[in-house]
Amino acid sequence: MGNSKFPSFTDGCASLLKKHLTKEIWEELQGRRTASGFTISDLIRSGVEQEDSSIGMYAGDAESYDLFAPLLDPVLLDYHGSSGPHPAPDFSLDALPELSREAQENILSTRVRVGRNLAGYPLGPAISSAERREVETRIKEALAHLPDAIQGAYHSLSEMNQTRRQDLVARHLLFKSEDRFLTSAGLMRDWPDARGIFLSRDEAFSVWVNEEDQLRIIAMKKGGDVTAVFRLLTEGVSALSRHLDFLTDPRLGFLTSCPTNLGTAMRASVHMRLTGLATDEAALKVNAEALGLQVRGIHGEHSQSKGGVFDISNRMRLGVTEAEAITHLMRGINHLARMDAEAAPL
Ligand code: ADP
Ligand code: ARG
């Protein structure tokens, strides 16, 4: 069933959903339904229920991106500066820039993650509990074939005790178990069933299973060796690609439940001390945005910064290659480090 009424948003709502959902588009999309039963009401539920969303939409399946394109394409263009076509993957390391010494010295840790979903299944918001379990099984089988250097163990969330879970979250290794945006999107159904995390022995390589996307493949290390972290991620992604068929689209690249993650589905981030710029967080966000970067807090999205440390990452994921996105981030980090040095009191 479609929406019976055009959604109303309060004045304070600044989501891309509110900005791009015209009455005409909403009427045009009424009655459309994907093969897994996803409608426009399902697509926009998170943004309607959570008015502080920045985007406010989650797709249920690959077909959502075609059927609801009159709404989604303008949102993609607004967020990524592109609504496709997306270039072929490029994880090459040869042309990456160097990080300046002042940037290196202020980076505490580096993390690069990509989102992936399996071909032949709906995305998380429309998946059934039986399909979600099947997805988990397939991923566990693939993880057993990882090269020895990144081998480790899979930990099911339903079998994990609270202390262990909270410790992994606090150490930035595991997703949180509550998120009202994901709840509204239908992504927390049957929680914690079929969710889990694979951790390599040294914890530098990990895979989140059945959270916002069916896989989040992650490399993370202390310090600012972005190239080394990107190399580790590449190793894991290519090993898993040999055993899993990922959901892709000729126009949109790797498909993810949230439109912000399409394309490369890659977020590369550093935890960086920016003591000089921290005195005016609003200005930092504006400057970072102008550099094509995003500022998050110390515990990721929707969290606060602490002690002048920020999570700085690439904003665009669609219409650029992985190598281009990393290059862009590294140049932006150098720029911010320079600005920070200039802003710091002597
Ligand atoms: P995602 O990166 O998957 O989009 P979040 O922004 O919620 O999601 O981040 C997930 C976790 O990764 C959080 O605990 C966050 O603090 C952590 N994280 C992100 N970047 C870094 C980094 N460079 N160093 C350490 N932890 C990080
Ligand atoms: N749905 C949330 C919003 O619109 C998050 C959007 C981007 N982040 C994400 N984890 N997909 O604000």
Structural domain includes residue 29: yes
Q: How far apart are CA 243 and CA 144, in angstroms?
A: 10
Provide the CATH number for the domain around residue 230.
Answer: 3.30.590.10
**Ligand 1 closest atom vs CA 299:** 16
Q: Is 212 a catalytic residue?
A: yes
Which segments of the chain are extended strands (E)? 107-116, 152-156, 196-200, 205-209, 215-222, 248-249, 253-254, 266-273, 293-296, 309-314
Residue 286 sits in the same domain as residue 224: yes
Residue 191 sits in the same domain as residue 301: yes
Structural domain includes residue 173: yes
3-state helix, strand, coil in the chain (%, to 5): 40, 20, 40
pLDDT digits (tens, 9 = 90+) for 9-34: 999 999 999 999 999 999 999 999 99
Structural domain includes residue 10: no
Residue 76 sits in the same domain as residue 121: no
Residue 21 sits in the same domain as residue 108: no
Look at residue 215 and tell me whether its pLDDT is greater than 60.
Answer: yes
Q: Which residues pair with 197 in a beta bridge?
A: 155, 208
Query: pLDDT > 90: what percent of the chain?
Result: 95
Tokens of 19: 């900005």
pLDDT band at 301 (very low <50, low <70, confident <90, very high): confident
Cα 325 vs. chain centroid, distance in angstroms?
A: 14
Residue 231 sits in the same domain as residue 339: yes
- Rounded to 5 degrees, φ, ψ at 137 are -60, -45
Tokens of 165: 């879970």
Do 297 and 310 form a contact (C-beta atoms < 8 A)? yes
Q: How far apart are CA 231 and CA 209, in angstroms?
A: 21
Residue 154 sits in the same domain as residue 282: yes
Residue 299 labeled ligand binder: yes
Q: Is 216 a catalytic residue?
A: yes
User: How many domains is the chain built from?
Assistant: 2
Q: Across the chain, what does the average pLDDT equal?
A: 96
Which has the closest alpha carbon to 59: 155, 126, 151, 141? 126
Residue 198 sits in the same domain as residue 294: yes
Residue 205 sits in the same domain as residue 318: yes
pLDDT band at 346 (very low <50, low <70, confident <90, very high): low
Tokens of 296: 């998050």
Cβ–ligand 1 contact at 111 (below 6 Å): yes
pLDDT confidence of residue 2: 45
The residue segments making up the domain with residue 49 are 16-80
Residue 325 sits in the same domain as residue 256: yes
Structural domain includes residue 94: no
pLDDT digits (tens, 9 = 90+) for 43-88: 999 999 999 999 999 999 999 999 999 999 999 999 999 999 999 9
Look at residue 216 and tell me whether its pLDDT is greater than 50.
Answer: yes
Protein residue with least CA distance to atom 14, ligand 1: 172
Alpha carbon distances (Å) from 30 to 3, 34, 133, 182: 7, 12, 31, 23
Which has the closest alpha carbon to 55: 40, 44, 68, 70? 44
Best residue among 15, 42, 48, 53 to mutate for probing ligand 2's pocket (most ligand atoms within 8 Å of CB) is 53
Q: How far apart are CA 93 and CA 70, in angstroms?
A: 37
Q: How far apart are CA 233 and CA 235, in angstroms?
A: 5
- Bridge-based pairing of strands 205-209 and 266-273 is unpaired
Structural domain includes residue 11: no
Cβ–ligand 1 contact at 109 (below 6 Å): yes
Q: How far apart are CA 160 and CA 177, in angstroms?
A: 12
Residue 294 sits in the same domain as residue 335: yes
Structural domain includes residue 3: no
Active-site choice (116, 132, 216, 317): 216
Cα 206 to ligand 2 centroid, rounded to whole Å: 21
Q: Is 338 a catalytic residue?
A: no
Structural domain includes residue 95: no
Which class for 307: exposed (0-12), middle (13-18), buried (19 or more C-beta within 10 A)? exposed
Active-site choice (165, 211, 258, 264): 258
Residue with tokens 């992504």: 187
Structural domain includes residue 85: no
Residue 127 sits in the same domain as residue 252: yes
Q: What is the DSSP letter of 292?
A: T
Cα 300 to ligand 1 centroid, rounded to whole Å: 5
Section 204-223 average pLDDT: 98
pTM of the model: 0.97
Which has the closest alpha carbon to 323: 260, 231, 210? 231
Provide the CATH number for the domain around residue 51.
Answer: 1.10.135.10
Residue 22 sits in the same domain as residue 139: no
pLDDT digits (tens, 9 = 90+) for 259-282: 999 999 999 999 999 999 999 999
